[in-house]
A = this chain, B = another copy of it.
Amino acid sequence: MTDSSSRKETEDWWRTALIRMEPNQIDIRGHPIEDLIGNIGFVQMIWLCLRGELPSKDQSRLLEAALVAAVDHGPQAPSIAAARMAATCGVGLNSAMATGLNMLGDVHGGAGEQAVSLYQMALSFVDEGDTPDAAAAQAVKRWTADHGKYMPGFGHRFHTRDPRSPRLIELVQSAQRKGVVSGRAGDIALRIEAHLSDIKGRPIPMNIDGATAVIYTELGFDAPLARGLFCLSRSVGILAHAWEQTQQGGRNKGPLPKGHLWTYLKPSEK
């Protein structure tokens, strides 16, 4: 291998379409950075980085609603609790944030990604000729067979009616009326919700993951980005909790006040 072929290989190894730089110049997706700063919003920047093109104002607003909605759901979530605990362990705020984000795995942070896949599957059945109701039922059946009983995006252990979902669906329907989105994902999601409640005999409400997944699907994001976008949103809550904990103080805070767990860990009699 010659040095110049080696160089070519290295160049290819790290190629990116996201950014181009030379001294005193930084282009993001072809836009000089100084043209973006102060002229586009943070959510437009997120879209530009992920999708390669700038969104319309209306598209950006809908994405923004999803990002606002998922910011926090309190310290009973393991990600938030762990970030608060990390903030008492002598690491920087960036590491406290990483601790929380790292927990948003398939179970804790993957429901939005899975719900996008569920909607896409249901919509593909519609495209193949099923009625929307049949497609919704079929998608639920298929998902259960492949992945088990947890239906991503529906049901909540605390809320019987998650206050975030109807508000987000309302915004999707409004965007649909303006022609911003097709409304198909919102429609199929509501049918899945109705079908699930029907077969369970009790309300199985669309939750935050189900509702934001509607928006991500309507806006054309690939399923894995639903997790990525959720991570960007929840990062805000993670940071805010880690910072609040930093200000409250405390050292090596575990899950319970000092001495509580202790009592559960007594050596057995011998």
Binding site for B on A (CB under 8 A): 1-4, 6-7, 9-28, 30, 32-34, 36-38, 40-43, 45-46, 49-50, 61, 64-65, 67-69, 71-79, 81-82, 85-86, 88-95, 97-99, 101-110, 150, 157-164, 166-168, 170-171, 224-225, 227-228, 231-233, 235-237, 239-244, 246, 251-268
A95–B34 alpha-carbon span in the complex (Å): 31
> How many protomers of this protein does the assembly include?
4
A99–B91 alpha-carbon span in the complex (Å): 12
Max chain B Cβ within 10 angstroms of own Cβ: one of A27, A159, A255: A255
Q: Given A16-B75, A49-B237, A107-B252, verify A246-B264 contact (CB < 8 Å).
A: no
Between-chain CB contacts (< 8 Å), 28 pairs: A3-B4, A10-B257, A18-B244, A20-B267, A21-B158, A22-B267, A24-B163, A38-B168, A42-B233, A45-B67, A45-B68, A76-B254, A76-B256, A76-B258, A76-B261, A78-B252, A85-B103, A89-B108, A92-B105, A92-B106, A94-B103, A94-B104, A94-B231, A98-B102, A99-B102, A102-B102, A232-B232, A255-B255
Candidates B6, B85, B164; contact of A3 at CB < 8 Å? B6
**Which residues of the other chain, B, contact A89 by a CB distance below 8 angstroms?**
78-79, 103-109
Q: Check B37 against A164 for contact (C-beta < 8 Å).
A: yes
Candidates B99, B103, B253, B254; contact of A75 at CB < 8 Å? B254
Q: What's the nearest-Cβ distance from chain B to residue A169, in Å?
A: 11
A24–B208 alpha-carbon span in the complex (Å): 12
Q: Check B91 against A266 for contact (C-beta < 8 Å).
A: no
**Which residues of the other chain, B, contact A65 by a CB distance below 8 angstroms?**
37-38
Q: What's the nearest-Cβ distance from chain B to residue A208, in Å?
A: 9
